[in-house]
Amino acid sequence: DSHVIPDNRFSATTIYDSRYHPYYARLNGSPGWCRSGSSTSEYLQIDLNAVFVVCGVATQGASYGTEWVTSYKVQFSMDNQAWSTYQETGTDKVFNGNTDGTTVVKNTLAVPTMARFIRFVPLSHNRDPTMRVEVYGTKPDGILALGLGDNRVPSASITASSNNPNAVRARLGSTSGAWCAGSGDVSPYLQVDLGSSHMICAVATQGDPFADQWVQTYRIDCSDDGANWTSYRENNTTRKFNGNYDRNSIVRQVLYQAPAARYVRVVPISETGSKCLRLELYG
């Protein structure tokens, strides 16, 4: 409701009439946005004009009358092309909305999500589905390296499925080599114990500085206890990350639905030469 986002960055599939334009949907503004018709595929969309880590949302109903949204979903996109519905524990999250027109109801995202575009999709409502909204978050500049490159993560906390003594070479920027999976390792991984739970917002990789061998694609597995592991997913599918294409270029990838984990595994899928990498985690 601070008007940092200009009116032309609000849009919607439909409007009830000229009193309910999308740019009237600012929290504490007047009167709100209302869709036309009863389809639950209608949405209010906001272009944040930059990528943010979205941590929470808030809603109100109409500034007058008895119109409000009682439940809704939230969708995110980086490019306004590919959209994903926000999920928790593997299912679409249905947010509790309002019980009157004026009270602000804030919902925190258990999984902070990186996005430039956000959609509010009304599901149920009292009378007409009118809503005013706010989005809370931070710029990803606040994301910090978690300590592989600068040795804050101790060497004993970096392990691997094979060639374990060389796992300590997997630090991003290492000049002593890289970790390479053993030639007979059919289920290779590099594992990092961060010591406590962190939001994992991004990863960065390099290849072997001494030879033409690097990981081309990989997946990320996360765990709270080092025993039970979950592969990182987006859009209900395990994400395959693009890795490296030469020895030393740093390739950074963002996890748009940042998981919380103490233990992180990088699981190589394809490679050039051998499965070799250097790594940093960000959160």
Predicted local distance difference test score (pLDDT) of residue 183:
92
Tens-digit pLDDT profile for residues 35-88: 998 899 999 999 999 989 899 999 999 998 899 999 999 999 989 998 999 988
Q: Is the pLDDT of residue 251 over 90?
A: yes
**Would the pLDDT of 1 be above 70?**
no
Q: Indicate if the pLDDT at residue 227 is higher than 70.
A: yes
Beta carbons within 8 Å of 99's beta carbon, 6+ residues apart: 68, 70, 105
CATH topology for 7-141? Jelly Rolls (2.60.120)
171-207 pLDDT tens trace = 999 999 999 999 999 999 999 999 999 989 889 999 9
> Which pLDDT band, with edges at 50, 70 and 90, does 143 fall under?
confident
125-151 burial by CB neighbour count: b if 16+ within 10 A, else e? bbebbbbbbbbbbeeeeebebbbbbee
2: pLDDT strictly greater than 70: no
Whether 32 has a pLDDT exceeding 90, the answer reads yes
What end-to-end distance do the CA atoms of the chain give, in Å? 28
**pLDDT of residue 111 exceeding 90:** no
pLDDT at 4: 83
DSSP 3-state of 28: coil
Domain 7-141 shares a fold with domain 155-282: yes
pLDDT value at residue 259: 87
Residues 266, 218: contact at Cβ < 8 Å? yes
Scanning the structure block, which residue is given the tokens 């299912």? 91
The DSSP secondary-structure symbol of 26 reads B
Q: How confident is the model at residue 142 (pLDDT cuts 50, 70, 90)?
A: low
Phi, psi at 157, each rounded to 5°: -90, 0
Query: Residue 193: is it exposed, middle or buried by C-beta count within 10 angstroms (0-12/13-18/19+)?
Result: middle
Domains in the chain: boundaries: 7-141, 155-282
Contact 27, 58 (CB under 8 A): yes
Distance CA(188)–CA(161), nearest Å, equals 5
> Is the pTM of the predicted complex or chain greater than 0.85?
no
Architecture of domain 155-282: Sandwich (2.60)
